Structure 1
């Protein structure tokens, strides 16, 4: 008797002989979002009086690279402008002091005022962040109305650990139409409340402007002797240089200086700083800051209380060193100042906050068009002068020509000038003075050729125009509140100084002779 038993045969080939091929039909295009996420670091801190902690607040803000720091309980009085000025040295500081009273009020009144405030913000998808020291214990029944109110406005609480040394969450952050990540609570030694830091993620269109960058050179390791030797060997010989006209000689000198500097210190780019570096920040403080950042990274990684204590100790000593360095800097600056206007400006910067920054809606083209139209309007108000044919020619003296300068006179003039540097200069002025022996022959030829031919070099006719507010109290959004300030190349100012000295000497001698003839 035979039974037919169904069987299943495995037809899979061995791995040694099986080959796999890609199938392009399985590829799918991933959907691309129409917007990207723009992340900014922000923080919240109940500083418990910012009056004596201004230096610490600015230091910790710069150390963490914060774009926004919200402070509560600053205790800054309306008449206290010095603290506002200290907090505004590197940041834009906005402050609304409480006019009357101190401390919180009834929870019911607060919820009514908060309801009115939140209702004033449109619900059109614009990101909203509400943060502060609410001093409300969220786990208690009394906070139910608070939860209900914020939930009705679609505000979500950012999850954090305890924000007070007693173990309570009193400092709260709520967001709408945006997200957060990398939240961190850091205990600081100067307040019972902890510092809350996080990244705020905001939707941004893909057509955003690229970040601003600055160009810099590392001049610390540059040897003026080596640069001077290279410039001397690169410039044309004196006989060839003297055959060039004023413009060609000027262009040759400028291009040679720039190319020689590029050989030793090429231009490099770095993200633009919102504010310049503090003048009291020395190399010792920079090294201390590097150690502080290392201790912070170690604590963030380990969460060890010992590492936290080391980080807080370094932070406390760094803040004290910053305050001492700042005090010493201004003490020496005030005591060594002999110019009353500069002394008044120093006191004004310490006692009054800086003016608001210019409006971002104003462009360089707006300023150029405004200043050109203003110049045209002013010049159109003048009428052509009438020619007087009855001018007496008695005692008439003229300046037939300018006197040519020697290399010694040009060198003395170059070294005695204040080393102001303009972005249009081929090299920094202090470096130009350091290598003056190699550039004086070429510079002497340019100045004498300009005086002899009456030609002002084309390269000297360019200026860097910077608009400045006429008064700090004026509205920075209005073009008419600005005045143009022109920065000229240093060599151009040197040539102007030569012409000014000779004309001034001629007019002085003429006035003296005229006065003597009248006696």
Structure 2
């Protein structure tokens, strides 16, 4: 009998007696010195039990059964014990040749497999005849050094022809190969032993194979807060982990994110080509769920947080993956631990969870429930675990996580599904991310959609030959070219030197700072994986410390590279626009407007175009059906004594100045990119001047410039993307169209201002007018009324699509009758308004051009000015009712002071006035939005009415209740005229911006941080700050704290550092000085005759009754008499006069605005920092 047959008969008889088998193992381990005990015991374990995975991995003499081994060691067949005993190892077995690496013949005494099996070496076959550098006991040092030098290993498997072994190439020097999902396999080193849990996912359950070759890779991670500034490294690790493992969906629990204020954190947490949806806890701190999902899946995924039953014991987000006919319902859950503080109990949770499982049965699709349940699955005797498992068993669910998910060796994060669905596979636990929980990964066996290729058209302007382009332009250009001919010439020249190329857009798979550290990072991650395997294998404290150290090394490398990359990007910004683009991207300000998902992308341009056109048509139809209901005359037009017949020709010098001062924006309608046009302006200027002059003199606006491209933008990020009315049309016109409009506007404003043809109550689009001046007039009148014991009724009117519904015939008639515009000038405006079209642009696709028969062009230069000219009669109509008004574009304010006894009569007057205003608007095709109109009854808290206190005002058919406060042109006005709410809003908004800047402060220099703070924070403190004059010091102290925090952020000062030296370093004025600076500047403009006309009603120049020595000082204001400090001394008339008169005479008599501001700041800086 052959020795091999004797050996197998011995093993078969030995396996029948477990006691004899155990004694044999102990004896053999004591006397065997030439083979590895691990290899022997593993082989015997496979022979003595059913085969789960008959693969042997031999590395430096150590054998180990490894589930989920690499594909090169995949098992073709699986054998039971009886089948193994029937194998004939000698069938077709090639002889073994000597090892070339050792130069020694292999004998039964040298070969570990042969010595273990009791076979001669010639009977042990090698797959493909590859002899491997085996670890031999007789030359262990030589074999170990060989394995360490090239990393070669031997993989053996059992099949019909015996035990086949195969030499694996050196993993260290093997070229990089992309695995499924770009997940790198663990690198094997000499002497390294894989733990029972490999680095990448083994199969934890027997699941039938599915047809999905590329499943979705899902990850679940309890982050234990990602919101604070100190968590920047953790956010970097999460982004790196998503990129490394090609995660399709990452579910984060316990994010601690807030609904508002954490946009920068979300931006830092979102990898390239991913999007993040955050669902913070609605009450209290902590908790929260976030879902990071690939953009290629975004169109197939919907989110829902509203379940059909009430649940208070856990947070839940339903993610519906509608990838195929049978969707996957992924429920993301976080259950906070029950305690006395949150008043949650296990009973509440099991009741809510029972309802959730019951709800899952009613849904179409395959349910999968994942999340941090805070139930110890590892403790089968725990009452909560028993009850949870019973509940899952009732609904036929199983839990697939079998490894600890918490640092205390508990299984708290669960993946639950129905086994019959075969939807979840390859559940593993990763220890790479830093938290008290580990990351759970699994495959969702549903095929992800293949994203369609995305192409874009680009022109290589950077590499084009600029000199050749200029030569061609110089040859082709002629002053006699029309606008259409110039368009052809420019496009032809551009197509020759920078042709439009159609390129496929390939999304970046890694962050832009990775290439600089690729080699260093790869080695560091390799060390981290090796340390993780060793830590999992031994569980020793020292190996845990080594693993944590390697994790920190990887985190430090990535975070340092990211910081350096961003610092370099910001430091090399060539313009403030690029700086703010980068900072907006880092702080989450850059938001891509999502598009509706219920329409095919190819149909969206036409769908939006039809909706926008129909919206205006519906408003016009509604206005046509409304009858004019007013007894008062609505026509208050009056012919002016001046005329404007024709425009003047523009010179090349003036046109050059206008072009260079314009914002260099480029529209897809432009034949030449604006920067390239400016670069060649010396060649194009004669042609452009001729085109502009031809248009002005002929009274014809070029038809080429009458088309607008409209981009739909979502009004607010939390609105439903599938409701079209939630989108706002944003129009874009060609650059040359705006240049012609600016030439016309310049001449038109000179005419209007010279003849004082614009209404004095209109503060929009006029020099020396702004929202602050309009609000100063309104608040001054109301505070004066309250100081005298009166009350004021304030009404804020709102218009719907005001610019879009203007009637062209009425506008042209008004230009002629009210402003005296006629002849070629009027013909030019008629040509400008008529025959216009617009096309909607969505994802590079345009809709068919749609005619615009109403309204002034959106996004144009002339449109806003034409609107205020169109609505000029409205001011006179309101004044006929003895009601004061102030307007800024389409925002109109009506207010009327009265005594408390006459308040009802004042309200009746306001209502009658609004009725006439609405009738005028109906006749002039403007729609007053009754529902959005707001009203305030401004009065002292101690005001007493002889009768009942009024509660509302009627606007049309709607009763508008008086509000306690309202937002008016960005300023919060309270009914008691206090500033508490407004200042609280300023502080909240300013701190919001400071938190955003603080999250990226480590990437910014002092100068860059100062620029951002001045633009985003101090601008809020300075907006309408002249209205804060006279307010209590405790309110100003709140604003001063904001400024102090901003100074500390810029200079990286400690909280306890004194702030006055910091302000001196930054050369900042404190809040009170900034208010005084604004008041003084407004008064200087008053004396320079460059202030609004209504300021003459508020400020009075002091004129002495008789000649005095001080009479030569003509720049002194009269301080009005007031009754109360709370109201009268807060009026603009009182505060501005007092502040102006307190300035030194030489400052008040400055000759220019620049010298005045310079002297004023020096004076205030010395005054408040002394």
Bin for the TM-score computed over the shorter chain: 0.5 to 0.7
Match for residue 415 of structure 1?
Answer: 660
Q: Is the 8 A contact 2:223 2:254 kept in 1?
A: yes
What is the aligned partner in structure 2 of residue 96 from structure 1?
A: 281
Would the aligned equivalents of 2:431 and 2:439 in 1 still touch at CA under 8 Å?
Answer: yes
Work out whether 1:163 is the aligned partner of 2:405: yes
- The question of 1:228 aligning with 2:473 is answered no
Q: Which residue number corresponds to residue 111 of structure 1?
A: 350
After superposition, what is the alpha-carbon deviation per residue over 1:305-340, rounded to whole angstroms, capped at 9, x for unaligned? Answer: 68985454232453477579989999xx9xx99xxx
Separation in 2 of the partners of 1:162 and 1:357? 39
Question: 2:643 is matched with which residue: 389, 396, 404?
Answer: 396
Structure 2 contact 405–439 (Cα < 8 Å) conserved: yes
Distance 1:67 1:327, change over 3 A: farther
Taking the aligned partners of 1:258 and 1:246, their CA distance within structure 2 comes to 18
Q: Deviations over 1:132-157 (max 9, x none)?
A: 12343434323344334334434444
Cα 1:69–1:411, aligned 2, differ >3 Å: closer, same or farther? same
- Give the equivalent residue in structure 1 for 2:227: 51
CA RMSD of aligned residues (A): 5.0
> Greater CA deviation, 498-507 or 425-434?
425-434
1:313 aligns with 2:313: no
Write the distance in 1 (CA, Å) between the matches of 2:505 and 2:640: 64
Give the 3-state SS of the residue equivalent to 2:645 in structure 1: coil
Aligned match for 1:484, one of 718, 726, 729: 729
Q: 1:352 to 1:404 in 2, by over 3 A?
A: closer
2:489 is aligned to 252
For the residues of structure 2 that align with 1:375 and 1:322, how far apart are their CA atoms? 49
* 2:260 pairs with 1:81: yes
2:612 to 358, 371, 376: 371
Larger Rg over CA atoms: 2
Distance 1:165 1:467, change over 3 A: same
Q: Deviations over 1:247-288 (max 9, x none)?
A: 13223313433553337xx452315699xx9xxx9x7x4545
Alignment of 1:275-424 (within 5 A): 285-287=513-515, 290=518, 294=522, 298=526, 310=550, 312-319=552-559, 359-361=596-598, 363-380=604-621, 381=623, 395-399=642-646, 401-406=647-652, 408-424=653-669
Select the residue among 747, 772, 781 that pairs with 1:502.
747
Query: Contact 1:404–1:451 (CA<8 Å) still a contact in 2?
Result: no
Per the alignment, residue 831 of structure 2 pairs with none
Distance 1:159 1:396, change over 3 A: closer
Q: 1:73 to 1:253 in 2, by over 3 A?
A: same
Q: What are the superposed Cα offsets for residues 188-233 of structure 1, whole Å, 9 maximum, x if unpaired?
A: 46312222344434357xxx795473637586x925xx54323223
The residue aligned with 2:88 is none
Tell me, yes or no, if the aligned pair for 2:470 and 2:680 is still in contact at 8 Å. Answer: no
Distance 1:496 1:403 in 2: 14
* 1:153 alignment counterpart: 395
Per the TM alignment, residue 158 of structure 1 is displaced from its structure 2 partner at its CA by 4.1
Q: Sort the Cα spacing of 1:468 and 1:452 in 2 relative to 1 into closer, same or farther, 3 A.
A: same
Secondary structure of residue in 1 paired with 2:446: strand
Provide the TM-score with structure 2 as the length reference: 0.33
Distance 1:152 1:270 in 2: 50
Tell me the SS of whatever aligns to 1:70: strand
Superposed CA deviations along residues 433-476 of structure 1, whole A, max 9, x for unmatched, are 34444544554454444445544444433333123344566555
Distance 1:432 1:402, change over 3 A: same
Alignment of 1:176-191 (within 5 A): 176=418, 177=421, 179-180=423-424, 185-188=429-432, 190-191=434-435
In 2, distance between residues paired with 1:267 and 1:409? 39
Q: 1:156 and 1:236, CA in 2 relative to 1: closer, same or farther beyond 3 A? A: farther
User: Using a 3 Å threshold, how does the CA distance of structure 1 residues 241 and 356 change in structure 2: closer, same or farther?
Assistant: closer
Where does the alignment leave 5 or more consecutive residues of structure 1 unmatched? 1-34, 515-519
RCO higher in 1 or 2 (8 Å CA, sep ≥ 6)? 1
Q: Identify if the C-alpha distance between structure 1 residues 131 and 415 changes in structure 2 by more than 3 Å, giving closer, same or farther.
A: same
Q: Relative to structure 1, is the Cα distance of residues 191 and 367 closer, same or farther in structure 2, using a 3 angstrom cutoff?
A: same
User: Closer, same or farther in 2 for the Cα pair 1:448/1:152, shift >3 Å?
Assistant: farther
> Could you tell me which of 371, 374, 379 is aligned with 1:132?
371
Aligned residues between the structures: 443
* Closer/same/farther in 2, CA of residues 427 and 124 from structure 1, 3 Å limit: same
Could you tell me how far 1:119 is from its partner in structure 2?
0.8
Residues 137 and 151 of structure 1, relative CA distance in 2, 3 Å threshold: same
* Counterpart Cα distance in 2 of 1:182 and 1:449: 74
2:471 paired with 1:237: no
The answer for the alignment partner of 2:1092 in structure 1 is none
Structure 2, unmatched stretches of 5+, are 1-210, 271-275, 285-311, 314-335, 339-343, 535-545, 626-634, 758-818, 820-1170
Q: Contact between 2:397 and 2:417, CA under 8 Å: does it hold in 1? A: yes
Q: Aligned equivalents of 2:697 and 2:393: distance in 1? A: 81
Tell me: CA distance 1:251–1:186, structure 2 relative to 1, closer, same or farther (3 Å): farther
Q: Alignment partner of 1:498: what SS?
A: helix
Is 1:72 paired with 2:318? Answer: no
From the superposition, tell whether residues 471 and 49 of structure 1 become closer, same or farther in structure 2 (CA, over 3 Å): closer
Task: Evaluate the alpha carbon distance shift between residue 185 and residue 405 of structure 1 in structure 2; reply closer, same or farther with a 3 A threshold.
Answer: farther
Please give the alpha-carbon distance, in whole angstroms, between the structure 2 residues aligned to 1:183 and 1:451: 73
- Does the 8 Å CA contact 1:246/1:449 hold for their aligned counterparts? no
Aligned CA distance change for structure 1 residues 253 and 420 (closer, same or farther; 3 Å): same
CA distance, structure 1, for counterparts of residue 351 and residue 668 of structure 2:
56
> Is the CA contact (8 Å cut-off) linking 2:426 and 2:442 kept in structure 1?
yes
Q: CA shift at 1:498, angstroms? A: 2.3
CA distance in 2, matches of 1:355, 1:256: 33
* Contact 1:261 1:427 survives alignment (8 Å): no
Contact 1:45 1:72 in 2 (8 A): yes
CA distance in 2, matches of 1:164, 1:392: 83
Distance 1:216 1:355, change over 3 A: closer
Shift in alpha-carbon separation, 1:111–1:324, aligned structure 2, 3 A: farther
Structure 2 CA distance for partners of 1:246 and 1:322, relative to 1, 3 Å: same
Aligned match of 1:6: none
Deviation at 1:403, TM superposition (A): 0.9
2:710 is matched with 465
Q: CA deviation at 1:117?
A: 1.0
Find the residue that maps to 1:237 and give its secondary structure. helix
Paired with 1:145 and 1:127, the residues of 2 have a C-alpha distance of: 24
